[in-house]
Amino acid sequence: MTPVLEVEGLEKRFPAQGGRTVHAVNGVSFTINAGETLGVVGESGSGKSTIGRAVIRLLKPDGGQVRFQGRDITRLPESACRPLRSEMQMVFQDPWSALNPRIRIGDLIAEPLLLHTKLPRGERQDRAEHLARRVRLTTELLTRYPSELSGGQLQRVCIARAIATNPKLIVLDEPTSSLDLSVRAGILELLAELKAETGAAMMFISHDLGTVKLISDRIMVLYLGGVVEYAPAAQVFAEPAHPYSQALMSAHLPADPMAVLRRHVLEGEVPSPINLPPGCHFASRCPVAVPDCRRHAPELRPVHGDTAHQAACLRIAEGANRIPELQHG
């Protein structure tokens, strides 16, 4: 079956001061199948949001290819992208700024139906009620304004809007990061339910590895706009192959309290995305880098012959990719 989303060699650059260029996304490739959630992780500035926006064509890619349901949408003009919006939706981090404060909740939920369907007003309202219940909001909230709802309730409104037109792809950009810890779990539970019910492909962008672990089937680890590891979620958490993934995972505190002793804090300078060095972009911070790493840019390759688990590190072939203090715990 054709994946819902196929991305090959995606490139995105932004102009920076002094006529320079920010290399935000550098040759990123991945696929997402129907019903599958891809978790996208990496530190701030690694290109997560840019990739999310480029695949649903809120941004125009500078290179590579984005295929949605088998159709190349990379260079579609804006007017041709508009009809696609009903099939590709995005949920943003901050529900307060995503919703017009002067529109009632019921109309906000029904808005995508107004924009993308020919349903009459009565049916749109019925459907808004149904959607509100589906995201576990009481229908009495439909007559209220955004300022009268909590952050968690507003994010549920955003999710209701995102699923209103039965999209095939939903990009969730840090959907729980702005919410109190106590409401995050409820939103994640809702997303997991919707994933199963809707069969939509989801791209889940987050800093929070615990959250990503709960919801993702596969994980893509980014560093300076490039993919350093791409694998089934359980594998990335159990056996991260790339030294950057190892450091990232070690910073995530699992239930084991002794894990804090095995944290690896990265040292060294992060190169500027304006002036990327040759070779591996992680080499300046990598505890296991050798001079060759600074000369040759590693490609994503199967880890120990497993094509489902790929990592971009020259040292894997020699079995020298483990950060020593993590190895010995």
Ligand X SMILES: Nc1ncnc2c1ncn2[C@@H]1O[C@H](COP(=O)(O)OP(=O)(O)OP(=O)(O)O)[C@@H](O)[C@H]1O
Nearest to ligand X of 28, 297 (CB atom)? 28
Q: What is d(CA 18, CA 31) in angstroms, rounded to the nearest whole number?
A: 36
Binding pattern to ligand X, positions 171-210, x when CB under 6 A? ------------------------------------x---
Token pair for residue 58? 């809120």
CA dihedral 220, 302, 1, 56 (to 10 degrees): 30
- Residue 173 in tokens: 């950009």
Give the nearer residue to ligand X in terms of CB position, either 131 or 204.
204
Fill in the amino acid letter for 231: A
Residue among 223, 224, 248 at smallest CA distance from 237: 248
Spatial neighbors of 264 by CB under 8 A, at least 6 apart, are: 246, 247, 250, 251, 287, 323, 325, 326
- Which residue in the set 28, 48, 98, 313 belongs to the binding site for ligand X (CB under 6 A)? 48
Q: Minimum Å distance from CB 42 to ligand X?
A: 6
Q: How far apart are CA 321 and CA 324, in angstroms?
A: 9
Evaluate the CA torsion angle 130, 136, 138, 143 in order and state its sign. Answer: negative
- Pairing verdict, β 63-68 and 218-223: unpaired
Question: Candidates 48-56, 105-113, 193-201, 304-312 — which segment interacts with ligand X by CB under 6 A?
Answer: 48-56
> The dihedral of CA 267, 268, 272, 275: what is its sign?
negative
Q: How many residues bind ligand X (CB under 6 A)?
A: 13
CB of 168 to ligand X, least distance (A): 23
Among 47-55, 104-112, 148-156, 246-254, which window interacts with ligand X (CB under 6 A)? 47-55
From 5, 10, 24, 131, residue interacting with ligand X (rule: CB under 6 A): 24
Q: What is the DSSP letter of 295?
A: T
Distance, in Å, from the CA atom of 138 to the CA atom of 188, rounded to the nearest integer, reads 19
What string marks each residue from 213 to 252 as x (binds ligand X by CB under 6 A) or -?
A: ----------------------------------------
Q: Which of 8, 11, 14, 199 binds ligand X (CB under 6 A)?
A: 14
Q: Given candidates 26, 46, 155, 246, which one binds ligand X under the rule CB under 6 A?
A: 46
Q: Is the dihedral angle over the CA atoms 189, 190, 193, 199 positive or is it negative? A: negative
Interaction between residue 49 and ligand X (CB under 6 A): yes
44 binds ligand X (CB under 6 A): yes
Angle at 64 between CA 239 and CA 163, to 5 degrees: 70
Shortest distance, CB of residue 151 to ligand X, whole angstroms?
18
If the CB atoms of residues 191 and 222 are measured against ligand X, the closer one turns out to be 222
Name the minimum Å distance from CB 233 to ligand X. 19
Our finding on whether 273 is near ligand X (CB under 6 A) is yes
42 binds ligand X, rule: CB under 6 A = yes
Q: Which residues contact 121 (CB under 8 A, 6 or more apart)?
A: none
Q: Which stretch binds ligand X (CB under 6 A): 46-54, 128-136, 154-162, 230-238?
A: 46-54
Binding of ligand X by 50 (CB under 6 A): yes
CB of 266 to ligand X, least distance (A): 16
Asked if 101 and 113 count as a contact pair (C-beta separation under 8 A), the reply is: no
- The residue ranges that bind ligand X (CB under 6 A) are 14, 22, 24, 42, 44-50, 207, 273
